[in-house]
Structure 1
Amino acid sequence: PKPLCGGCGAKVGPDTLDNALADLRSVARDDVRNLPGDDAAILTFGSARQVISTDHLRAFWSDPWLMARIAAVHAANDVLAMGAEPQAALAQITLPPMTEAMQAAWLTEILDGANGIFTAENIALAGGHTSVGSELTIGFTVTGIVAKKPLALDGAAPGDALILTAPLGSGTVLAAEMEGKAQGDDVARVLSALSAPRGAIARALSPFANAMTDVTGFGLAGHLSRMADASGLSCEIALDDLPIFDGAEELAAKGVRSTIWAANRAAVEATLPETPRAALLFDPQTAGGFLAAVPSDKASHALAACSEAGAEARVIGTMTPRTSVTLTCR
């Protein structure tokens, strides 16, 4: 059997998660907003608003320092996608069985790697919890402060341009690496991208956005369809305009798929060609890029701002009036 993917490739599928949450009756509070699909919950304290989110990753790389950086980027992205300024983080770390000396060494590397990201984003690493389990898992709960209305999924409007700030295909490249099929240079480029801080990019894009999210385990199609559903819209993607990691499309053509791919595809009502590039719409992205719905007359300004922040952002599609199919392509 193929190895089980790590990172966001190890997530529970979207339909399974939605079904489990459908009958949940949590306490309703006026000072807590937690809409399905939003990247973070919104907490209110009088006129002040804070967002809070949590994420963890099953390790897919043997270097705990690098894995911690990727997990820290991944967790911070949820707060940044809400248009918030990150504030504090709590760590949740599960180490595999090892000697106490090795535990201390690994924890030192993990905390150093994560703190490098958090320092760059002005996030205080305020505490956490450790345990021992069967394999390395690293996660963080991150809070942020919102100075204006938070960016949720439900704000997109018909005609909005869809802007994506990072390439797709990391899940496919990493799945191929586990099978010994990926090129080393392609894997290195993915790891470098996944471990780079994103705060400057989020701050550049969010002022232009009507709605924004980060593309993670459910793939671009999954997260875009949730934005469309929340906004009462559909969307159209230009497949030729999608940014793709080197090697990903070739690997997809060979049938390489992440563990969660089939569940991601089944969860989206989409009319798409059966091509390798279209398959990457359902590829899970660990520490993926930001996806924003931006008024069309502001799209060029948003792209310029992202470029100044270091992102090769692209317009990849458009929000359209609601139809029976959530996602189509041209």
Structure 2
Amino acid sequence: MTSVRLTDLAHGGGCGCKLAPSVLQQLLGDKAASMPFAGLLVGTETGDDAAVWQVDERTCVIATTDFFMPVVDDPYDFGRIAATNALSDVYAMGGKPIMALAILGMPLDKLDVDTVRRILAGGDAICAEAGIPVAGGHSIDSAEPIYGLAAIGLCAPSQLRRNATAQVGDAIILTKGIGVGIYSAAFKKQALSADGYDEMLASTTLLNRIGHELAQDGDVHAITDVTGFGLLGHGLEMARGSGLTLRIELAHIPYFTQAESLAQAGYITGASKRNWNSYGDGVSLPTDLPEWRRALLTDPQTSGGLLVACKPEKAPSICSMIEAAGYPSARIIGAAVAGDAGIDVV
């Protein structure tokens, strides 16, 4: 069988494959009102990271699924990135994963069995790092390679954190740098350096387990993860769900080391443009902001960081704790303020 690049078999890659926010809103716009279940604490109503069902006064079950096409060519790395991304949604709700199921679609006329086994092995390795089993799954023969997980987690009701519970005055912390989509676009065109690849891999395979720890702190009010809709898109979900304005300071946003130069060189994903077209009317930008910098703000983040809203006086110590826990790019990037639900970039 002829050797091929995994990324050449897919029309998109990573979280850049997600449907545009505007399309998703059309698909799910009337869904929340049609499903009144008392035990369902979190459904589709605020575009949160996972569904949550309260079992009893001490236990909530968190359920999520995430899968996509390759963002890199190495099958083991692809499996690791996809699994890390899928587990992130559990951590973003304040939970701890307990098991996962594999979701696999492969073009077996184009990929040999050993390649597919290495994808699965990469996912298994990340789940082992998270301390959970891959307990089963489902596979199909598909036109493009697809891999991900359905993940199940648990949390106490008091430790559940949503994207819609930020409070006026909260500081906003971002735990990972921005630039995955930019790097992946450069990688697909063979323009990403080896150092850049290593930087992207280190970030996208870093479990967001800090979310479970943050949820045990009453000074942390809201958490979401930054994935396919970019920093502005997931920030806007937090702003709209919480009924306030997120003021994001451009100078404080952490980026991958080559993200700005690559964006200026034109390595921008189509998903970044679709994101802006979907939600740009909810965002206020500086009038002189160049288009390449706007693209960074809408850049789809595969296995991105957490966006955390917390008490402002506690933010420096919380950010330092996150950094010490293994997230060196963690930064305070803004604040939640009273105003119309939206994003104000300054």
Asked if these proteins are the same fold (TM beyond 0.5), I'd say yes
1:99 Cα offset (Å): 8.4
User: What residue identity is the alignment partner of 1:271?
Assistant: S
Greater displacement, 252-261 / 151-160? 252-261
The answer for the alignment partner of 1:90 in structure 2 is 101
The answer for the alignment partner of 1:214 in structure 2 is 225
User: What residue identity is the alignment partner of 1:261?
Assistant: S
Write the distance in 2 (CA, Å) between the matches of 1:96 and 1:23: 35
User: What residue identity is the alignment partner of 1:253?
Assistant: Q
2:94–2:214 contact (8 Å) kept in structure 1: no
- Normalising by structure 2, what TM-score? 0.89
2:46–2:164 contact (8 Å) kept in structure 1: no
- After superposition, where does 1:126-275 map in structure 2 within 5 Å? 126-149=135-158, 150-199=160-209, 201-206=210-215, 207=217, 208-266=219-277, 267-268=279-280, 269-273=282-286, 274-275=289-290
C-alpha spacing 1:181/1:109, structure 2 compared with 1 (3 Å): closer
1:125 Cα offset (Å): 1.2
Aligned with residue 22 of structure 1, among 29, 49, 60: 29
The answer for the alignment partner of 1:66 in structure 2 is 77
The answer for the alignment partner of 2:5 in structure 1 is none
Aligned with residue 318 of structure 2, among 295, 302, 311: 302
Work out the percentage of aligned pairs sharing the same amino acid: 34
Aligned with residue 13 of structure 1, among 20, 25, 30: 20
1:180 Cα offset (Å): 3.1
1:5–1:258 contact (8 Å) kept in structure 2: no
What SS does the aligned partner of 1:196 have?
A: coil
User: What residue identity is the alignment partner of 2:234?
Assistant: H
Greater displacement, 252-261 / 228-237? 252-261
User: What residue identity is the alignment partner of 1:71?
Assistant: A
Does 2:333 match 1:316?
yes
Write the distance in 2 (CA, Å) between the matches of 1:78 and 1:9: 17
2:46–2:163 contact (8 Å) kept in structure 1: no
1:87 Cα offset (Å): 1.0
What SS does the aligned partner of 1:311 have?
A: coil
C-alpha spacing 1:86/1:283, structure 2 compared with 1 (3 Å): same
C-alpha spacing 1:99/1:232, structure 2 compared with 1 (3 Å): closer
User: What residue identity is the alignment partner of 1:112?
Assistant: A
1:43 Cα offset (Å): 1.1
1:171–1:283 contact (8 Å) kept in structure 2: yes
Structure 2 residue runs without a partner (length 5+): 1-7
2:72–2:184 contact (8 Å) kept in structure 1: no
The answer for the alignment partner of 2:39 in structure 1 is 31
Write the distance in 1 (CA, Å) between the matches of 2:269 and 2:110: 33
1:239–1:277 contact (8 Å) kept in structure 2: no
C-alpha spacing 1:248/1:80, structure 2 compared with 1 (3 Å): same
C-alpha spacing 1:99/1:18, structure 2 compared with 1 (3 Å): closer
